[in-house]
Structure 1
């Protein structure tokens, strides 16, 4: 059942193919009693099943308080600290919707002084839909993927044999029986949907 569900989502994500470029941006923050809320916006949600966003923020000066989904992409969500001050947000749903608007809100503690919050990386449908956004460069480098990312069986190509290996380990966590860090592509200690979308991004890659 777990493998069947992953196959359905996998094909839905990669089947759309290349489309017109979309624009993702961040609105000016609005103040609340607790902090500052930044709305993450997209200009066209047609055919978008998954959004993966890496945000740079100052965890000491302005820690993240909350991350909220909005109705335009109500479904699955994960939020993880990837490395240092980089926050990874993955949102996905089974059925694509149209329209435009806010897909998530990020609330940070109000530092009382100017602070930086910006996009390090944004992907739509695991890279299948091109996207434009204003990028910031973190001071500390993000974890790069391994040279043969996704090629779990070392065959030189990322294909369905790798997918079924990944599906067998999906849901594992560090410290649990059977956990294999090879499939934890974002190195967060869990083999989840953020790893799944990284794998989908590399599917079809020929390394040698």
Structure 2
């Protein structure tokens, strides 16, 4: 599969991005992955995305440690990071992104989304945010606000999953503030060792039709 790798800074972290051409993907490309057998039943699209994400992650780990370790797949399909590393992976269109932190207890979550169309935002907003959150996002165009809340909650899920170790939904956190560069979420109920009303500040940026959100806290 044809890929291009580049790195860019965001919110004090280095984001490793892989641009990939899924039309050039061949199933044999998966043999690069130590866990390739676990992907044999996945769709071709999913296989290409997974490969691109693991390439991004290997670059990120190599930049940090000097070893291009490929994260495996955990019991709930989450990336299995090497000892001493915490990280996160996201996919959006023909791009995959990864970020890592050398603090194994760090909270790390990244998510990239294409901005929803107006009709899409109208269809899904009530499953992502409450009316009160919608009002707090009123400074943004409605489709952008819904997309941003969706993405931020996805990033939070990825960051907390290792500690919580169970599924939890969008209603588990609510938007309490948004600025041109940050979004603050608060838990609506306890999650593992995190108490109700625990606050998390994520960074966000928009680049063209893509929104990127990041939580990276030691």
TM-score range, shorter chain: under 0.3
Relative contact order, higher structure (CA 8 A, sep 6+): 1
